[in-house]
Structure 1
Amino acid sequence: MTPTRMRLRRACVAVAAAGVLIAPAVAGTAYGASAPARAAPYAAPSPDTGTDFPQLTPAVAAKLDAAVRQVMREARVPGVIVGLWAPGKGSYVRAFGVADKTTGAPMATDLDMRIGSETKTFTVTALLRLVDQGKVGLDDTIGTYVTGVPNGDRITLRELAGMRSGLFNYSEDDAFNAALDTGAERPFTPQQLLDYSFKHPVQFPPGQKFEYSNTNLILIGLVLEKITGRPLHEVIEQDVLKPAGLHHTLFPTGAEFPEPHAHGYTDQSTSGKIVDATGWNPSWGWAAGAIISDLQDLRSWARTLATGTLLTPATQAERLKTTPIGIPGAGYGLGIFDVQGWIGHNGSLPGYESLTVYLPQAQATLVVLLNTDVLHDGKEPSAFFGEAITTVVTPDHVYPGHQPPTPKSR
């Protein structure tokens, strides 16, 4: 497996190196049989919640500045955007470093970024809206809609959305990675992606355990197209982005990238050199990882996603039933995770990483966007930022990734 091409498969939950983000879907990864799904601890906050969340004073902002800068230095991150908001406590919105290493243009808070596997939250939301409309059932089998799927008469849409299908992750296939190595700008069709997966045996019986697989989302994308009769990018735009009021979020059909955007940097598999991946075609991520967004849209989306604004209460409750994933305090629901109370998703695509989460207890939102996906000490850099920031503001709800050193003031 080449170091660059495995990015999208890792974008699940930014936890420790042995956890699911760094290698969530490697064949043979042992999480053990999953425990029965458990209800996530979300409840609508009462007016007096969030009292343990600090006022975002200049003193707290200085601590956050120091924490972010230290992670940047250690992980060699060119640029990062951080947004943190909590009602009655204030906000912290900052851009650090550079958006373009060639020109030295500074990172800015209004730049578009590729968000990788956060795309899954939009794709699964579109599916759940169809559930609410009575057009599809979570316990329908995928074989009802797509032919030729291994175990297609047994795998349900619920198991696909919850990463419990047992289908091989196409982005781990050697031939797929070799194809990407021949040209990062080439397009892939959904069927081509499935072909890479389906030549492998299933990894385990449906529902037996959690194992992150982008193949699941490609299939959900095809279900959306079949039921609606529209291409996936139109389904996402019309059924999710518009109702959510997101005007700076795009499901691209090719390598297009609206201006202004940050340049993204990745480690090239063949040479090990850091290269500019800004124009690489994200079609290989499709329903699992193609979306582009910005800070303010993701701020809005974090709350919409975690509170279920676009869904009925019953369907949102189903979404938030999480399966343990082998990390204390972390579970995965239907295209969403709960890590120490922070609900949302992260993403990683060559050149870019993102983290968008919401903490119901404090009604707090955290968004982190960075223009590299190069690992540091075998871990995703977004994980370092997540933990460094939450250690400062929510020590009882620390988003895990590593044990951050004490930030040095400067």
Structure 2
Amino acid sequence: MSEPTRPHSRKFLPPLLRFLVPAAIMAIVLTGCTAAPEAPVQTTQSAEKYRAGLEDFSRRMLDLGAPAVLIETRINGDVWSHAGGVRSLGSPAPAEASNSTHIASVTKSMVAVSVLKLVEEGHVQLQDPVTKHLPEFDSLVNPRGAVTVAHLLRHESGIPSYEEELFSSRPIRQALTQKLSLGESLALSKAMPWVRTPGSGADYSNSNYLVLGLMLERLHGRPVAEILRNDVFEPLGMKDTHLTGTGPPPSTMIHGQVEVDGERLDSAYLGAIVGNPAGGVVSTVGDLNTFYASLMEGRLLKPATIQQMQLAPFGFYGMGLLRWKDVCGGFYYGHDGDWAGYRTTVITSADGKRQVAIAITYPPESWDPSAYNPDNPLGPDALYRAARTALDLSC
């Protein structure tokens, strides 16, 4: 059977906004319908090959103008890291693999864990209507039918992505720098057309995870940043991971930049991403591998919950997880995401023993507000292909 077609993508969706839409959704998404090639055997030679391949990828990115490239692999007990470039354009400080970066939509996997913890504790049911926990939901988004918690987790609600209206209704600089509340951001979705009814298919939308963020805050009585810290970051010792706040970025953070109105704008901690449960977490490639390994190993959720999380009724997206066919058997899981000046991809095997995390900053002038281009050599698909190739060599 051929690979599934690309999910619906609306006309206004600049690559800048794919903290927004993961590359893997837009590119090669493999389901169980595709026969896996014969699995390679793990050898010292294969380890040398995947490391050499990732180093080649880093050189290509730097040659194309990417200011920084960060990589960490954890494969069958062997940990390898790499960094190239500088922490910030115009600064001599070299990038280090331990530097923190915006991880954009990878945030969604973490938010999904917090929601599913409430499910395990009996406070929430996956089939609960969202209005049970968030009575103002209907007035915020004008849904086209009953939306459940599971619909939100799997992008099956049909709610339009709020950022399309955000970035088309005001100057780009204002849209990037202005901090809006979750409710204010969600209200923007009412100006966008709905493309499907709840449960009729998967249509990736950041609005789903804004709603989940509001629901978490209502049920816990605390900000999302504190919930994620208590549920995920502190239990796993992810000391370099946090949801963005209003203060200055960490001193060790790599700085992305974008060109807006002919001027360069430092995109670390921009107002639009502060506190955003759809894409606002800052982390390191090491912490990201720790998170996904711990998730797959059952340190965050029960095995039955993880199995539910991994199910993808419409082929590509589970509950906060993307999945791809693993040539070694089963599926890879993870997420990727884009934010202004930043790209990140994390892929892990189902047992958590084979992982690749890649983060880059990209040239400020490379931002193109046109439609998604899978052939962009600096695009998110490039990260996905590099990570996937490394893992396919590491069975």
**TM-score category (smaller protein):** 0.7 to 0.9
* Mapped contact 2:243–2:274 kept (Cα < 8 A): no
Cα deviations by residue, 1:209-236 (Å, 9 ceiling, x for unpaired):
1111000000001110111111111111
| 3-state SS of paired residue (1:323) | coil
- Aligned counterpart, 2:185: 193
- Distance in 1, matches of 2:25 and 2:251, equals 28
- Distance in 2, matches of 1:315 and 1:393, equals 25
Q: Match of 1:81, as an amino acid?
A: L
* Mapped contact 2:289–2:357 kept (Cα < 8 A): yes
Cα deviations by residue, 1:355-407 (Å, 9 ceiling, x for unpaired):
1121136820111011128467447634213313432551599xxxxxxxxxx
- Aligned counterpart, 1:365: 355
Structure 1 stretch 199-208 or stretch 383-392: which is displaced more? Answer: 383-392
- Aligned counterpart, 1:140: 128
Task: Give how far 1:310 is off.
Answer: 1.0
- Aligned counterpart, 1:114: 102
Q: Match of 2:203, as an amino acid?
A: E
Q: Please tell me whether residue 9 in structure 1 is matched to residue 28 in structure 2.
A: no
Cα deviations by residue, 1:44-94 (Å, 9 ceiling, x for unpaired):
xxxxxx9723436556533432233124434x3221011111125x33311
| 3-state SS of paired residue (1:9) | coil
- Distance in 2, matches of 1:337 and 1:306, equals 13
* Mapped contact 2:23–2:381 kept (Cα < 8 A): no
* Mapped contact 2:19–2:338 kept (Cα < 8 A): yes
- Distance in 2, matches of 1:38 and 1:390, equals 17
- Distance in 2, matches of 1:307 and 1:177, equals 44
Q: TM-score, normalised by structure 2?
A: 0.82
* Mapped contact 2:83–2:97 kept (Cα < 8 A): yes
1:234-245 aligned within 5 A = 234-245=226-237
Task: Give how far 1:95 is off.
Answer: 0.4
Q: TM-score, normalised by structure 1?
A: 0.79
**CA distance 1:201–1:101, shift in 2 (3 Å):** closer
**CA distance 1:380–1:304, shift in 2 (3 Å):** farther
User: How many equivalent residue pairs?
Assistant: 361
- Aligned counterpart, 2:73: 84
* Mapped contact 1:164–1:206 kept (Cα < 8 A): yes
Q: 2:286 aligns with which of 276, 296, 305?
A: 296
- Aligned counterpart, 1:356: 346
Q: Please tell me whether residue 333 in structure 1 is matched to residue 331 in structure 2.
A: no
- Distance in 2, matches of 1:352 and 1:333, equals 24
- Distance in 2, matches of 1:5 and 1:386, equals 17
| 3-state SS of paired residue (1:221) | helix
1:65-76 aligned within 5 A = 65-74=55-64, 76=65
Q: Please tell me whether residue 311 in structure 1 is matched to residue 301 in structure 2.
A: yes
- Aligned counterpart, 1:406: none
Q: Match of 2:192, as an amino acid?
A: H
Q: Match of 1:10, as an amino acid?
A: V
- Aligned counterpart, 1:99: 87
| 3-state SS of paired residue (2:176) | coil
Task: Give how far 1:267 is off.
Answer: 3.9
Structure 1 stretch 294-303 or stretch 158-167: which is displaced more? Answer: 294-303
- Distance in 1, matches of 2:178 and 2:385, equals 36
| 3-state SS of paired residue (2:344) | strand
**CA distance 1:192–1:378, shift in 2 (3 Å):** farther
Task: Give how far 1:352 is off.
Answer: 1.1
Cα deviations by residue, 1:100-137 (Å, 9 ceiling, x for unpaired):
22023211111111111111111111000000000011
* Mapped contact 1:358–1:365 kept (Cα < 8 A): yes
1:256-271 aligned within 5 A = 256-268=248-260, 270-271=261-262
* Mapped contact 1:354–1:369 kept (Cα < 8 A): yes
* Mapped contact 1:170–1:176 kept (Cα < 8 A): no
% identical aligned pairs = 23
- Distance in 2, matches of 1:86 and 1:57, equals 9
1:379-390 aligned within 5 A = 381-390=379-388
**CA distance 1:2–1:224, shift in 2 (3 Å):** closer
* Mapped contact 2:334–2:346 kept (Cα < 8 A): yes
| 3-state SS of paired residue (1:103) | coil
* Mapped contact 1:82–1:369 kept (Cα < 8 A): yes
Structure 1: segments with no counterpart, 5+ residues:
21-36, 40-49, 326-330, 398-410
Structure 1 stretch 226-235 or stretch 280-289: which is displaced more? Answer: 280-289
Cα deviations by residue, 1:247-272 (Å, 9 ceiling, x for unpaired):
2111123253112111112343x34x
- Aligned counterpart, 2:148: 156
* Mapped contact 2:293–2:352 kept (Cα < 8 A): no
- Distance in 1, matches of 2:270 and 2:167, equals 19
**CA distance 1:367–1:4, shift in 2 (3 Å):** closer
- Distance in 2, matches of 1:38 and 1:57, equals 27
- Aligned counterpart, 2:160: 168
- Distance in 2, matches of 1:371 and 1:133, equals 39
Q: Match of 1:116, as an amino acid?
A: A
Structure 2: segments with no counterpart, 5+ residues:
1-11, 34-38, 326-330, 368-372
**CA distance 1:101–1:175, shift in 2 (3 Å):** closer
| 3-state SS of paired residue (2:117) | helix
| 3-state SS of paired residue (1:69) | helix
- Distance in 2, matches of 1:345 and 1:2, equals 19
**CA distance 1:267–1:316, shift in 2 (3 Å):** same
**CA distance 1:294–1:394, shift in 2 (3 Å):** same
